[in-house]
Amino acid sequence: MVLVSDGKIVEIAASAARPVPAGTQTLDLGDSMIAPGYLDLHIHGSAGFDVMDDNAEALPVVERLLARHGVTGYYPTTVTAPLDKTLRALERLADAIDSLRHADNTAEHRARPLGIHLEGPFISHARKGVHPAANLLPPKLETFERLWQAARGHVRMMTIAPELEGAAEVIVEAARRGVCVSLGHSDADFEATERGVAAGARHATHTFNAMRPLDHRSPGILGAALTDSRLSADIIADGVHLDPAIVKLFAAAKGAERTVLITDATAATGMPDGRYHLGSLEVEVKDGRCMADDKLAGSVLTMDKAVRNLARFAGWSLSQAVTAASRNPARVAGFANKGVLAAGADADFVVLNPDGDVLRTFIGGLECSA
């Protein structure tokens, strides 16, 4: 039984054997498992649309699909593109975030954009994955400032390669502005990674993917990401980007507190095999693999599936895996009122069956219709 008032949780009770205060809504969810709403800090699109699309339909369509899969809040994530294209996308995303702030509680309920994740342009040529080489840029405060202004301060996460010249300066400044600086798309050695952490980085992006591989005599960025307790880290647990045994290794290294699930989902998510786009790239999806230039180009993963996979691959209980999609990303993002089921927290939660399938999703106490 969940008691909700004004979009916040008042109480989670075993039964309604208590007087309910006026203005409080009671949701009787029987014996089902209730979990905090999932947060996806790295997602490019879904259901045929990319978050960088210049199309008013794009975000609502993406957000409805997210809500169906238990995601109540997310960071729309840019891929490296020509700078002016990125700037325009950031303006549109900032508009979406601002309009949500002004929307009242009765607005249509779909996953909410809570901030922007900038993936690139400050990433390594050596580990760019499918990000277009021509659009990568060296880290510079001036460029960061242009991105920041276009996004009107809504950049909340940034993936950057710490070994690039100028990276430390940009990391310091981004961290000062409250951005979660995440290390990734990087060929850094161990020392350069630690310098990035010293400058203010505190997370790692799709760990193992687009990183210098782990070597037992040259630990590199992975050696740091896996062992440095100042860093939380995320993974794409779709069974394609990482072998299940590597997911288990990761979970053992980062533990229950610092393991974060992302989807890195693209427009192809929730769609049949075929050709889609990722930012300005064309990608082809076949048998659950999203490829461009013979490289993995994002995923078709949904967060509910990532949770089930993590439980299975790492041997974690479902409720432990759920924290990697809720409490832990909320902490990474600095949302004290999200990712937890507690009095005063936002009434964003999901109802799960014992297999981890999402039965119902509530955002601000209101159910998202399927």
What residues line the site for Zn ion (CB under 5 A)?
Answer: 119, 264
- Per the structure block, which two tokens stand in for 76? 């729309």
- State which residue, 120 or 223, has the beta carbon closest to Zn ion: 120
Query: Shortest Cβ distance from residue 326 to Zn ion (Å)?
Result: 20
> Measured at CB, which residue is nearest to Zn ion?
264
Strands 281-286 and 180-183 come out as: unpaired
Mention every residue, 6+ apart, whose C-beta is less than 8 A from residue 293: 130
Give the DSSP H or E segment for 91: helix 83-102
Peptide bond into 329 cis (omega under 30): no
Q: Output the DSSP codes for 42-72.
A: EE-EETTEETT-S-TTHHHHHHHHHHHTTEE
Q: How many C-beta atoms lie closer than 10 Å to residue 21's C-beta?
A: 10
SS3 321: helix
Structure-token match 């062992």, residue found: 227
Contact between residue 266 and residue 298 where contact means Cβ atoms under 8 Å apart: yes
- The rounded distance, in Å, linking the Cα atoms of 185 and 133 is 12
- State which residue, 80 or 232, has the beta carbon closest to Zn ion: 80
Query: Shortest Cβ distance from residue 52 to Zn ion (Å)?
Result: 12
Query: Shortest Cβ distance from residue 18 to Zn ion (Å)?
Result: 46
Query: Shortest Cβ distance from residue 40 to Zn ion (Å)?
Result: 11
The reply to whether 357 belongs to the active site is no
- State which residue, 52 or 318, has the beta carbon closest to Zn ion: 52
- State which residue, 50 or 163, has the beta carbon closest to Zn ion: 50
Query: Shortest Cβ distance from residue 129 to Zn ion (Å)?
Result: 8
Query: Shortest Cβ distance from residue 217 to Zn ion (Å)?
Result: 30
Mention every residue, 6+ apart, whose C-beta is less than 8 A from residue 62: 43, 45, 46, 47, 49, 51, 76, 111
- State which residue, 112 or 131, has the beta carbon closest to Zn ion: 131
Q: Which of 187, 238, 264, 348 is catalytic?
A: 264
Q: Is 360 exposed, middle or buried (0-12, 13-18, 19+ CB in 10 A)?
A: middle
First to last CA, the chain: 21
Nearest Cα neighbor of 362 from 341, 352, 348, 345 is 348
- State which residue, 50 or 264, has the beta carbon closest to Zn ion: 264
Q: Known catalytic residues?
A: 264
